[in-house]
Amino acid sequence: MEYTTLGDTGTKVSRICLGCMSFGSSDWRDWVLDEAESRPIIERAIDLGINFFDTANMYSKGESERILGNVLADYDRDWPVVATKVYNPMDEDNPNARGLSRKAIEQELQNSLDRLGMDTIDLYQIHRWDYDTPIEGTLRALDDAVRRGQVRHLGASSMWAHRFADALHTSDRLGLDRFVTMQNHHNLVYREEEREMIPLCEREGIGTLPWSPLARGFLTRPHEEFLDTTRGEFMDDHDRMSDRVANYYAGNGDEINDRVAELAEEKGVTMAQIALSWLLHQETVDAPIVGTTSVEHLEDAVEALEIELSESDQAYLEEPYEPVPVDGHD
């Protein structure tokens, strides 16, 4: 396993982050694994040297956090770096169980700590921008959580670059703990983040943690086969997901997919490994967040660290891309 520094914090994390959205309850999404099915994957990740785990309070309404905490309880607590997120609704009957107000942050943070069975969360991330709460109030609440010792570092997720710049400037102006990471939508068939967000992160010393590095599975198999998968069918049944799939195709995604397949065959590896390797070659990327429902796919992801892509390989993969509508901020 290779390790890198999480943003500019000095904390060392594995170059592959295990995303835990697929661990929880099938009542939430039919492809989600329960605890008995999730445990072997998390344990194998640890065996492979992965020490970085990303979850969120909303994943299976907290069950993902609980499962991750149960498994990690069997290991040295100093080993893992655990990240979770706050923002999305947790209780439809409670208007304060969502968003980034001080009340929401404080109660949801405590709930996450309880489910994880931890005293401190290593990286606490805002899952989206809260248009109803002034950013100064959110940042003060997050800074207080750091000062109380409940959180070590702060991170953010998909938003407009100008809002992220405003948040960083506000933290600096008020002397508050600032965001050290950006978890953003970034892969070979969605590269709109390269226009503003990634240059901003590079300038500010912010590490990026790409979500959906394999484009929801679009980059793991020939595009003609994609919609026959469980994820593909799920996307067809949900408008937001269908729009995302259309986005992946819109920017010459089928041509990029073909080139990924061609290069994978040439190098004797999988398409997923080529797509991950491309991200791992990007200077601002700390660790792609890889979600999986099988040990085999997890092992494939780790093996992607060994794949070398020349500058000409990277250029060949990137060349067909065309701009697509911005996706993932809401």
How many domains does the chain fold into? 1
Interior angle at CA 307, CA 287 and CA 219, nearest 5? 70
**Structural domain includes residue 133:** yes
**Structural domain includes residue 283:** no
**Structural domain includes residue 15:** yes
Dihedral, CA of residue 218, residue 220, residue 221 and residue 226, to nearest 10: -30
The model's pTM is: 0.93
**Using an 8 Å Cβ cutoff, are 189 and 253 in contact?**
yes
**Structural domain includes residue 179:** yes
CATH number at residue 120: 3.20.20.100
Domain holding 157, by residue range, is 3-183
DSSP strand E in the chain: where? Answer: 3-5, 12-14, 17-19, 52-54, 81-86, 121-126, 151-157, 179-183, 207-208, 289-291
What's the confidence (pLDDT) of residue 238? 43
What's the confidence (pLDDT) of residue 229? 55
What's the confidence (pLDDT) of residue 234? 45
Catalytic residues, which ones?
59
Please state the length of the chain: 330
What's the confidence (pLDDT) of residue 236? 44
**Structural domain includes residue 211:** no
**Structural domain includes residue 162:** yes
The series of mean pLDDT values per 10 residues for the chain, 330 residues long, is 96 98 95 97 98 98 98 94 97 93 98 98 97 97 98 98 98 98 97 97 97 93 71 47 76 93 97 97 96 96 97 97 88
**Structural domain includes residue 126:** yes
In the numeric block, which tokens belong to residue 206?
A: 């912010």
Question: What does the alpha-carbon distance between residue 79 and residue 284 come to, in Å, rounded to a whole number?
Answer: 24
What's the confidence (pLDDT) of residue 212? 95
**Structural domain includes residue 107:** yes
What's the confidence (pLDDT) of residue 239? 47
